[in-house]
Structure 1
Amino acid sequence: MSDNLYFKKHVFFCLNDRDDGRQCCAKNGAQAAQEHAKRRIKQLDMNGEGKIRINKAGCLDRCEQGPVLVVYPQGTWYTYVDQSDIDEIIDVDLIGGGVVERLKV
């Protein structure tokens, strides 16, 4: 981990809720997915300084591909359908350091 990074990985879940009929992450389970990820990271004792941070975000401007999340510092964008997809992102990317190719957008 670089000395200037407070978190090893920082995850932003788009929770944007559009009311104009366009696709949005909020209407596709984003809140539940973010809460699941945050809970699981805490259960694994992977949260906090030097570890992993799970955050809510407003519009990330990719709702048409969503729901979406982005992992920094590498900037990997993912979509997901259910908790098993979130678990795979946690296990493979956040903890394992790999990329879940099938969920990349």
Structure 2
Amino acid sequence: MATWNLSTTKHHILICNGSSCKKAGAEELTQSVRNEIMAKRLDSVIHTSRTLCNGRCHDKCVLITYPDGHWYKEMTGRDAPQLVESLLKGSSIEDKVSHYYNGECFIPNEGTVLGVYKDEGMVKKVSKKF
């Protein structure tokens, strides 16, 4: 197994490979993002990790970028070039961002389905959009 030297890494992309995202094309998304990073010779700057379910199945395929804290929804392999370019520019693909980190918590973008939340050990459904 490899142990990556992350000392030059500026961005970390988490790509959901849970069952809902996999059915919606997560493997194609994963490979497209990784191919774009390799084609631009950015392997030492952008690191990717496959994850299991990130809990936003409604938004499949889900992709999360750090350190900016953007949660992306409905990502496809065709979005890979724009995603990598946005990371390099310090911007985002605004119409694909479901949540962004404001320094304290994650804020949903307009039109984002809030989903379910945990309250005192009980899971409650929230059906409205933000």
TM-score band by shorter chain is 0.7 to 0.9
Pairing partner for 1:47 from 43, 48, 71: 43
- The reply to whether residue 29 of structure 1 matches residue 31 of structure 2 is no
Report the equivalent of 1:21.
none
Residue number in structure 1 paired with 2:69: 75
Q: How has the CA–CA distance of structure 1 residues 81 and 10 changed in structure 2, closer, same or farther, with 3 Å as cutoff?
A: closer
1:14-72 CA distance string (max 9 Å, x none): 0001xxxxxx1110001111111111101101112xx1001111111111111100001
Number of matched residues?
A: 92
RMSD across aligned C-alpha pairs, in angstroms?
Answer: 1.5
Answering whether residue 94 of structure 2 is matched by residue 101 of structure 1, we say yes
| One-letter amino acid of the counterpart of residue 33, structure 1 | L
Normalising to structure 1: TM-score of the pair? 0.79
Q: Unaligned regions of 5+ residues in structure 1, if any? A: 18-23
Structure number with greater CO (CA < 8 Å, separation at least 6) is 1
Q: Which has the larger radius of gyration?
A: 2
CA contact (8 A) 1:14 1:69 kept: yes
* Greater strand content: 2
CA deviation after TM superposition for structure 1 residue 104, in Å: 0.6
Normalising to structure 2: TM-score of the pair? Answer: 0.65
Question: Any unmatched runs of 5+ in structure 2?
Answer: 1-5, 99-130
